[in-house]
Amino acid sequence: MLTTTLLLLLLLLLLLLLLLLLLLLLLLLLVLLVLLLLLLLLLLLLLLLLVLLLLLLLLLLLLLLLLLLLLILLLLLLLLLLLLLLLLLLLLLLLLLLLLLLLRTTTTTTTTTTTTTTTTTTTTTTTSSTTTTTTTTTSTTTTSAAATATTTITTTTTTTTTTTTTTLLLLLLLLLLLLLLLLLLLLLLLLLLLLLLLLLLVHVL
């Protein structure tokens, strides 16, 4: 009887030990599962960080491209401003030249008129002849010859008329003024674009 009880006790102890071992194994499995889950979470976090880094790099590249484009636009606008300023200077020079032409271009034309006056003089000559016969008779014959002499007197009168070509020059001046106004408007628009681009640059930076 004692041996059976001892054997039963031993069996009970072994069962308890097996239960304990099973519990330990379950705990270990749980711990492993938790660790695996943590590792997966870490991997997911790392992937998320990598994706975020890639997105940040892409954003940085886009910002750099935008900055380069803005700088190129600024340079182009500055070049356009310089060209417009040169055009304005040329137009001002043309205006000055036209004003000088307005002041100095007077063409004079002279017309001459001649008047002729003719005077006629008539001269009369008288010839007398006498014939003697037995009875003395005197006969007188008069012949008149008319000679005309013409004298011409020419008088010249000169009149000077001054004609100025102001209409064409005024039209050119008006056209140049219109061009100047258009150029000024373009300059204003370019300045506004420059200001907008500078604001964008400041905002991006």
- Tens-place pLDDT, residues 184-200: 888 788 788 878 877 87
Are 138 and 129 contacting, i.e. CB atoms less than 8 angstroms apart?
no
Residue 115 lies in a domain: no
pLDDT at position 192, please?
Answer: 83
pLDDT at position 45, please?
Answer: 95
Report the C-alpha gap between 182 and 173 in whole angstroms.
Answer: 14
Angle at the Cα of 195 (from 189 to 201), degrees rounded to 5? 140
For the chain, what is the HEC assignment?
A: CHHHHHHHHHHHHHHHHHHHHHHHHHHHHHHHHHHHHHHHHHHHHHHHHHHHHHHHHHHHHHHHHHHHHHHHHHHHHHHHHHHHHHHHHHHHHHHHHHHHHHHHCCEEEEEEEEEEEEEEECCCCCCCCCECCCCCECCCCCCCCCCCEEEEEEEEEEEEEEECCHHHHHHHHHHHHHHHHHHHHHHHHHHHHHHHHHHHHHHHC
Residue 17 lies in a domain: yes
Taking residues 62-90, what's their average pLDDT? 84
Question: Which position has the higher pLDDT, 163 or 197?
Answer: 197
Residue 178: left (phi > 0), alpha (psi -120 to 50), or beta? Answer: alpha
Based on its alpha-carbon atoms, the radius of gyration of the chain, rounded to whole angstroms, reads 64
Tally of domains in the chain? 1
Are 106 and 164 contacting, i.e. CB atoms less than 8 angstroms apart?
yes
The pTM for the full model equals 0.46
Are 114 and 156 contacting, i.e. CB atoms less than 8 angstroms apart?
yes
Output the CA–CA distances (angstroms, integers) from residue 179 to 46, 88, 108, in the order listed: 64, 9, 33
pLDDT at position 70, please?
Answer: 81
Question: Which position has the higher pLDDT, 164 or 33?
Answer: 33
Owning domain of residue 85 = 2-107+168-204
Lowest mean pLDDT among 9-13, 80-84, 102-106: 102-106
The model's pLDDT over 19-72, given as tens digits with 9 standing for 90+, comes to 999 999 999 999 999 999 999 999 999 999 999 999 999 999 998 888 888 888
Residue 123 lies in a domain: no
- In which residue are the tokens 């640059």 written? 201
The model's pLDDT over 95-152, given as tens digits with 9 standing for 90+, comes to 788 778 878 764 443 444 444 444 444 444 444 444 433 333 444 444 444 444 444 4
Taking residues 74-97, what's their average pLDDT? 83
pLDDT at position 164, please?
Answer: 54
pLDDT at position 86, please?
Answer: 85
Residue 92 lies in a domain: yes
pLDDT at position 124, please?
Answer: 43
pLDDT tier, 155 (very low <50, low <70, confident <90, very high otherwise): very low
